[in-house]
Amino acid sequence: MVEIEAPALVSDELRDALMSVLGKSGVVSDPAVVAAQSGDWSEATKVAPAWVLFPRTPQQVADVLALCSHHHQKIVIQGGLTGLAGGATPTHGEVALSLAKLNQIEDIDTVGGTATVQAGVILEELQTRVEAQDWYFPLDLGARGSCQVGGNAATNAGGNRVIRYGTMRELVQGIEVALPSGKLLTMMNRVTKNTTGIDLKHLFIGAEGTLGVITRLVLKLSPKPTAANTALCALPSFEAATRLVRDMRRALPGLSAFEVMWADFMEAAQEIGNLRPAFATGSPVYALVETLGAHQEDDREQLERFLGEALEAGTVCDVIVAQSLEDSRSLWSYRETIGEMLGQLRPHAAFDVGVPMAAMASFVESVRASLRARFPDQRHLFFGHIGDGNLHVLSGPHVSADSLHMVEQVVYEAVRKVGGSISAEHGIGVIKREFLHLSRGAGEIELMRGLKAMLDPVGILNAARVFA
């Protein structure tokens, strides 16, 4: 659903004050521009903001926040608008603050392996610039060409390589944040280890813009891998996958991806993506694995040897190790039909939940059985970054809002039962706000509200996102 709403009114006094900070070009009400800023990639109802503000310096961000606090003007913070939880979608009466023009890569330290960047830098641009210097920024996700590193930090983005490199939180060494008070909190730490009191950056990483606006970051780089090896494994059970990932982490410290696809996902991928089956006979579970290293041939031999032993041990029923980049692409293609699936199964319910590994098999079985019983004509697909306990569930098409809601109830109730997380990487935003209590206790939500009241007493920043 897309409803473009009429922009709310901003007082002349505030508009003039904002223009005096940002210049005329920094305060935009052009209908084409505000329409383009009316929502993120989620299904949240789009609303065009009254104005879009384009600060060009961190200090301008801080000055804008001071003004908006003074005028009780609500702000929605916008990066690349690729979020899936509605956090960056404006609501009525909000002004949008876009980080798009705060987009300089300030420094790449090729000795210490850090990049100092402004929040609006596009992830892919950073990756490219860093790799040209023989370093590597390992965070990677489908939205790489549009998403911004500030948004990656505000939402604690994950992606395919978390098993090796961690989520965005582990990649942020230093941070600068503009606070609603108008203060700029500069904590641009460049050292790996800094144990000097409360580590305040974690208040802002993953907080989805509720406490401050991230303006700059010091990001941790890794040496650029020069070899990648991929294999697709057919497994006799999910239990075998838990053993495989443990043994692989031990034997192959270069393991950088461990994606699991259940049979229903694999069959849908073959059908929807028009792909040939990878194996002659079907298996209940598949694992797509990748290692990153420095020696293409040696690493492949090591991977082959490891998987050969796993075959003998019965952990794996069959395996294909890519012998070329083309092979590798073809193995990844099953996993990557997800884009087409999301399109074809619309309207759908899509989940990114965190489930303890020990509970995963029974979680998948019971949720699948519930969904199949209630919705026998829909597809219910299970896959995910299982090396991190991150399960994706895609169920659709569902024509009614009631059906979608029922699917949500089934999945989230099952998550609550196993003490899992209702969002492993996409965040809460507005879409999952009503379910937050399933993953976070009343005391936690109360403390989040306390922090909000302390740092944003007027409540101007991303109001009613994450928690009410």
Could you identify the residue written with the tokens 């505030």? 14
Binding mask 72-101 for a copy of itself (x = CB under 8 A): ------------------------------
The answer to the question of residue 249 lying near a copy of itself (CB under 8 A) is yes
The stretch among 14-22, 120-128, 139-147, 249-257 that binds a copy of itself (CB under 8 A) is 249-257
H or E element: which one contains 255? strand 255-262
Rounded Cα gap, residues 466 and 216, in angstroms: 23
The answer to the question of residue 250 lying near a copy of itself (CB under 8 A) is yes
Contact pick of 6, 32, 111, 373 for a copy of itself (by CB under 8 A): 111
Q: Restricting to residues 112-141, name those near a copy of itself by CB under 8 A.
A: 112-114
> Minimum distance from CB of 19 to a copy of itself (Å)?
27
Between residues 78 and 242, which has the closer beta carbon with respect to a copy of itself? 242
The answer to the question of residue 423 lying near a copy of itself (CB under 8 A) is yes
Binding mask 443-462 for a copy of itself (x = CB under 8 A): xxx-xx-xx--x--------
Contact pick of 6, 24, 193, 297 for a copy of itself (by CB under 8 A): 193
Between residues 89 and 167, which has the closer beta carbon with respect to a copy of itself? 167
For residue 136, the Cα-to-chain-centroid distance in whole angstroms is: 19
> Minimum distance from CB of 66 to a copy of itself (Å)?
14
Length of the chain: 468
Rounded Cα gap, residues 203 and 63, in angstroms: 21
Contact pick of 20, 194, 296, 362 for a copy of itself (by CB under 8 A): 194
Between residues 92 and 250, which has the closer beta carbon with respect to a copy of itself? 250
DSSP alpha helix (H) spans, 174-262? 238-251
Rounded Cα gap, residues 83 and 301, in angstroms: 39
Contact pick of 23, 31, 223, 277 for a copy of itself (by CB under 8 A): 223
Secondary structure in 3-state letters for 298-311: HHHHHHHHHHHHHH
Between residues 183 and 374, which has the closer beta carbon with respect to a copy of itself? 183
Could you tell me the two tokens for 23?
Answer: 């210049």
Between the two ends of the chain, the Cα-to-Cα distance in Å is 23
List all residues 6 or more positions away from 161 whose beta carbon is below 8 Å from its beta carbon.
138, 139, 140, 256, 257, 292
C-alpha closest to that of 462 among 79, 24, 82: 79
The stretch among 51-59, 314-322, 327-335, 435-443 that binds a copy of itself (CB under 8 A) is 435-443
Contact pick of 225, 236, 397, 459 for a copy of itself (by CB under 8 A): 225
Contact pick of 53, 185, 310, 319 for a copy of itself (by CB under 8 A): 185
Contact in structure between 87 and 462 (CB atoms under 8 Å): yes
Between residues 106 and 298, which has the closer beta carbon with respect to a copy of itself? 298
Q: Restricting to residues 142-171, name those near a copy of itself by CB under 8 A.
A: 155-156, 158, 162, 164, 166-167, 169-170
Between residues 215 and 378, which has the closer beta carbon with respect to a copy of itself? 215
Q: Restricting to residues 403-422, name those near a copy of itself by CB under 8 A.
A: 419-422
Question: Between helices 263-272 and 325-336, what is the axis angle to 10°?
Answer: 100
Identity of the residue numbered 217: L
Between residues 69 and 210, which has the closer beta carbon with respect to a copy of itself? 210
> Minimum distance from CB of 214 to a copy of itself (Å)?
14
The answer to the question of residue 66 lying near a copy of itself (CB under 8 A) is no
Rounded Cα gap, residues 427 and 447, in angstroms: 18
List all residues 6 or more positions away from 316 whose beta carbon is below 8 Å from its beta carbon.
233, 234, 235, 240, 244, 307, 310
C-alpha closest to that of 380 among 253, 215, 265: 265
Q: Restricting to residues 339-398, name those near a copy of itself by CB under 8 A.
A: 354-358, 385, 388-390
Dihedral sign for Cα 52, 58, 63, 66, please: positive
H or E element: which one contains 162? helix 162-165
Q: Restricting to residues 276-315, name those near a copy of itself by CB under 8 A.
A: 292-295, 298, 302
The answer to the question of residue 228 lying near a copy of itself (CB under 8 A) is no
Between residues 25 and 194, which has the closer beta carbon with respect to a copy of itself? 194
Rounded to 5, what percent of the chain is helix, strand, coil? 40, 20, 40
The answer to the question of residue 247 lying near a copy of itself (CB under 8 A) is yes
